[in-house]
């Protein structure tokens, strides 16, 4: 059996790598909210929330009602419209979570990345979209 260390564990054990704030020994903050889509056309960008510069995004969770046949949602920001969640089917009620690529992203790295957005794709969306953002 092999034992390996995550970057966090290695830093805690005194490895030479240093972790920046928002990664270790920090408080996690949550922001959440809702948007009621009413035949939101494909390409509609929904501004979800603003995060402070320096915030480290740990997770993005989207819960939806059935938004309609062929509807997809992508979640990103003003600099990358699918940084956190690539276009994912939202035709049936369910939950969509952050892909591995968006976890640990530090807000303020790129211009416009402080506004988290959801983009409707595939077809017009109708129904409730609830978001929960965990960040430090």
| C-alpha to C-alpha distances, 26 to 29, 56, 70, 136, nearest whole angstrom | 9, 10, 40, 7
- By C-alpha distance, which of 19, 52, 31, 34 is closest to 134? 31
Q: Is residue 20 part of a domain?
A: no
Number of domains in the chain: 1
pLDDT tens, position by position, 36-60: 999 999 999 999 999 999 999 999 9
Q: Quick one: pLDDT band at residue 94, thresholds 50, 70, 90?
A: very high
Q: What is the pLDDT of residue 21?
A: 59
Mean pLDDT rounded to a whole number for the chain: 87
Q: Is residue 1 part of a domain?
A: no
Q: What is the pLDDT of residue 26?
A: 73
DSSP-derived 3-state class of residue 66 = coil
- By C-alpha distance, which of 31, 20, 39 is closest to 61? 31
Q: Is residue 11 part of a domain?
A: no
The CATH code of the domain that includes 126 is: 2.60.120.220
Q: Is the pLDDT of residue 96 over 80?
A: yes
Q: Is residue 121 part of a domain?
A: yes
Distance CA 71, CA 63 (A): 14
Q: Is the pLDDT of residue 12 over 70?
A: no
Q: Is residue 61 part of a domain?
A: yes
Distance CA 98, CA 57 (A): 10
Q: Quick one: pLDDT band at residue 6, thresholds 50, 70, 90?
A: low
Q: Quick one: pLDDT band at residue 9, thresholds 50, 70, 90?
A: low
Q: What is the pLDDT of residue 10?
A: 63
Instruction: Report which secondary-structure segment, H or E, holds 132.
Output: strand 125-135
Q: Quick one: pLDDT band at residue 74, thresholds 50, 70, 90?
A: very high
Q: Is residue 9 part of a domain?
A: no
What percent of the chain stands above pLDDT 70?
82
Q: Is residue 49 part of a domain?
A: yes
Distance CA 135, CA 2 (A): 32
Q: Is residue 15 part of a domain?
A: no
Range of the domain at 105: 27-135
């Amino acid at each position: 059996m092999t034992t390996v260390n995550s970057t966090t564990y290695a830093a805690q054990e005194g490895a030479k790598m240093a972790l920046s704030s928002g990664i270790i020994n920090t408080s996690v903050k949550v922001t959440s909210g809702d948007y009621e889509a009413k035949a939101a056309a494909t390409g509609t960008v929904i501004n979800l929330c603003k995060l402070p510069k320096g915030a480290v995004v740990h997770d993005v969770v989207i819960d939806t009602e059935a938004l309609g046949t062929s509807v997809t949602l992508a979640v990103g920001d003003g600099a990358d419209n699918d940084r956190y969640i690539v276009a994912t089917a939202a035709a049936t009620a369910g939950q969509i979570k952050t892909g591995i690529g968006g976890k640990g992203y530090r807000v303020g790295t790129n211009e416009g990345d402080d506004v988290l957005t959801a983009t409707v794709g595939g077809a017009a969306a109708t129904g409730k979209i609830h978001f929960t953002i965990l960040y430090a």
